[in-house]
């Protein structure tokens, strides 16, 4: 069963409560999403580490309930 944008956002915010999260359904099919996650927790982390933190927040749903996620991450600018 596909995930909703709200479910994806809730999972990310549960793991990164200080994050600003936007999720967009790219095709309207509930399978292909784009997410932007901006979090102070990302400060000092590489882009790969930031993405790993988001994937961890999704609790193994990538490749299953969540088919595709185009991910952009960043630490907030001071």
Question: Would the pLDDT of 1 be above 80?
Answer: no
Convert the pLDDT of each residue in 26-65 to its tens digit: 988 888 899 999 999 999 999 999 999 999 999 988 888 8
pLDDT (0 to 100) of residue 28: 84
Domains located in the chain, CATH noted = 5-74 (3.30.300.90)
Q: Is 11 left (phi over 0), alpha (psi -120 to 50) or beta?
A: alpha
Question: Would the pLDDT of 67 be above 90?
Answer: no
For residue 18, name the pLDDT band (cuts at 50, 70, 90).
very high
Instruction: Choose among 33, 22, 35, 19: nearest CA to 65.
Output: 33
Instruction: Choose among 19, 64, 15: nearest CA to 39.
Output: 19
Mean pLDDT of 5-16: 96
């Amino acid at each position: 069963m596909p995930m909703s944008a709200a479910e994806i956002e809730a999972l990310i915010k549960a793991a990164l409560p200080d994050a600003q999260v936007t999720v967009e359904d790219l095709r309207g099919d509930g399978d292909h999403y784009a997410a932007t996650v901006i979090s102070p927790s990302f400060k000092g982390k590489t882009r790969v580490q930031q993405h790993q933190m988001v994937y961890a927040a999704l609790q193994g749903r990538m490749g299953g309930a969540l088919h595709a996620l185009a991910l952009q991450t960043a630490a907030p600018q001071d």
